[in-house]
Structure 1
């Protein structure tokens, strides 16, 4: 029994090693080709850097697998592109005192936030909380609300779902992307970055899996380089490779994006902003990759414990976690440490005060 289990684990590990080697090899080939052709193409150069970063990560994972992997029990029997920098819009969207009800049900009230050019914004919340409704309001497709919403009229907007609805499936991948007026060599580079290469580019779109189709269409959107990209539950259609490809392209894209999704990995990987609809409020949170993950973690913890003032407590808990990490830094200067310690103490006191209010009620 032990031999069979070990053999299964070993074989699974070896397959993972082969897959990693193949992935690393493909990324190296793509990078070498893209690096030569990128020239002054800012987007291709950015995309190349992302590929190198992922490639290094996979190389480290491969090394760990080789060093710490399962050992087989011995059997002694015989047996780069020229795209404009489109984050130049200082204000892409501005919302003031936004409230919305649907069939007499309040979705959210008194929402205030500004989305700047280049922001990648994740819109999250429970089913029925009003995520898609908020998206439609921001895009001007739903006018039945209270408050003021400004959408920069100069922005070119592209939506993955709209492209999916109108794509011509009777043409090849290459012909479809040639409608962007980009050169074939550049198109092949982009397709290579999402693991569609060689003769595969001559495949009819109707013969693609849904995941492949999403990769192709999203590649077209990126090449066209709109100012604002809309993704409404994009991972519903995607396999793992497609999710990774879209994340990679989106991170190297300089414009603004609104992403409605339950996929926390996609949100935390790509977004620097969160708009969360909860208890009829729109919670606005800004942070880097680590802070976005902390936001999800803190939110998960607080949901079961706090019902009163929980939005403020949530933000304070996330800040407390951040301060704790900063104070653990041995290279921290004395003055900075004193300031962080003071803020840590004040933040802790404020959390205690808010919890006291809850329990008194």
Structure 2
């Protein structure tokens, strides 16, 4: 049953179209991910659906009375008061829900007298969701709900949304989160929406399959167009020859009239064929699609890094306290050259403190922290303070030792293209600042990069480009991030910090989760089936377009991937 539909919804700002032609059908109980690049209008669309803003055109139609809950980014909803007073004030007149049950459901048991001003960012997100629950919402509109949440809180939020009986539309840059929660992905563009069944991974597979099919269609149409053009040239040449023959004088062996009529009729017939073939070509031109475009690949050339030993840093029984609070308690670990480690743990566990110790911005209370004197360390902090606002983007990157040509190529690889490189750094968005800071680090010949929440403010496409860059980097990394998808793609070891202790797990984040089953959420089997089915469709398209004889190695690789996917799908059925 439909909850609501939109018809040709549009929004403008001055003379600028934010979006138009938005047609969306939403069923009761659906969990939908709303994706698209930064600035495309995702938040604007949520605000229209929430009734906060009015569209400039089109219709929004609900089929029954609906209680809507809207969670905004960086919500300043709470000013003062205790958890109890805030929850009591949040209940609607129609709701019979009790604030005590809200405390229990949202992991605030026994904290009713706590002041909301003392809550962390993640706790405030949970409290706002508790307020929406008190209102008895049928529709949740969530704008970046996973911001400020640590791994434990993210797992809780995933479970809450999966169990939520109503409808949820979610804007998030956390791909792992969207994989666990979304049943449908809706991509917002300038001229409308495109819907994809399944979770985020299924959406990516569908996009890749569509790209492969579009490329096949493009090459097929180019081949057909060349074939028709060649036919036109041949027919035109034959027509000209027939006209010449019809005008020739008869030879001495007989009369000319019969030959003239024959060649004149032949020329007329060929001219008709030429005309029909040209019309076919014109119709094809009208329906012709442009060559599908993919974003530029990340092409990074690094100078060979120094290898001055088998360890970059070593910690031997280090301690760090603030007052009576012990953050780091008897930690021992080491990092090898080229090793990529994910530093994970709940908010407040001491992750940023550990990075500051490695940077020598703070000192250990006890123990020894040894860092190779030859090691060059680069740091990307959450505030991106390394950018000089007095310079342009290109000046800032070339200041790190990179020539203008390669600098522009690197910036284009991270989606800063053309004249955008001449923008002053003072006007950059936080996402642009992150990308510029990363390029500076990657060209700076560092042996070790310390990255503290590097994907904050980046949209989904930028995050994927960011991953490509980090995978190409040959130095060592220590990454602090709530982006589990990034950690899974980039890290080789996982450092888990909890209650002052550090445990090192071999392998990526998934290895840590296997060792801690309570931290894993159940994967949506239906969404996984859809993803695998779409992958099969893409592989079938690629295999059908390959000549096995000429591309034997590539064909065998795709064929092996195809049968592996078939087996995975069989296991789920």
- Please give the TM-score of this superposition, normalised by the length of structure 2: 0.40
Deviations 1:15-62 (CA, angstroms, capped at 9, x unpaired): 9859968997244xx45xxxxxxxxxxxxxxx54xxxxxxxxxxxxxx
- Is the CA contact 1:174–1:201 (under 8 Å) kept in the aligned structure 2? yes
The residue that corresponds to 2:416 in the other structure is 196
The residue that corresponds to 1:220 in the other structure is 440
* Alignment length (residue pairs): 252
SS at match of 1:13: strand
1:1-361 correspondence runs (5 A): 5=25, 11-13=193-195, 17=207, 25-27=293-295, 30-31=296-297, 47-48=298-299, 81-86=301-306, 89-161=309-381, 164-287=384-507, 289=508, 292-299=509-516, 301=518
Please state how far the C-alpha of 1:152 moved relative to its aligned partner: 0.8
Q: Kindly indicate which of the two structures has a greater share of residues assigned to strand.
A: 2
The residue that corresponds to 1:35 in the other structure is none
Greater displacement, 209-218 / 256-265: 256-265
- Please give the TM-score of this superposition, normalised by the length of structure 1: 0.61
Distance (whole Å) between structure 2 residues aligned to residue 178 and residue 4 of structure 1: 46
- Is the CA contact 1:215–1:245 (under 8 Å) kept in the aligned structure 2? no
Q: Which runs of 5+ in 2 are unaligned?
A: 3-22, 27-184, 188-192, 197-202, 215-289, 522-573
- Is the CA contact 1:91–1:115 (under 8 Å) kept in the aligned structure 2? yes
Deviations 1:270-320 (CA, angstroms, capped at 9, x unpaired): 111221111331101121x4xx3132254251699xxxxxxxxxxxxxxxx
Q: Kindly indicate which of the two structures has a greater share of residues assigned to helix.
A: 1
SS at match of 2:373: coil
The residue that corresponds to 2:138 in the other structure is none
The change in CA–CA distance for 1:162 and 1:226 in structure 2 (over 3 A counts) is farther
Please state how far the C-alpha of 1:107 moved relative to its aligned partner: 2.3
The change in CA–CA distance for 1:117 and 1:169 in structure 2 (over 3 A counts) is same
Distance (whole Å) between structure 2 residues aligned to residue 195 and residue 87 of structure 1: 32
The change in CA–CA distance for 1:162 and 1:293 in structure 2 (over 3 A counts) is closer
- Is the CA contact 2:449–2:478 (under 8 Å) kept in the aligned structure 1? yes
- Is the CA contact 1:87–1:254 (under 8 Å) kept in the aligned structure 2? no
Please state how far the C-alpha of 1:139 moved relative to its aligned partner: 2.6
Larger Rg over CA atoms: 2
Distance (whole Å) between structure 2 residues aligned to residue 283 and residue 23 of structure 1: 50
The residue that corresponds to 1:330 in the other structure is none
The higher-RCO structure (CA 8 Å, 6+ apart) is 1
SS at match of 2:381: helix
Distance (whole Å) between structure 2 residues aligned to residue 164 and residue 203 of structure 1: 17
The residue that corresponds to 2:64 in the other structure is none
Please state how far the C-alpha of 1:164 moved relative to its aligned partner: 2.8
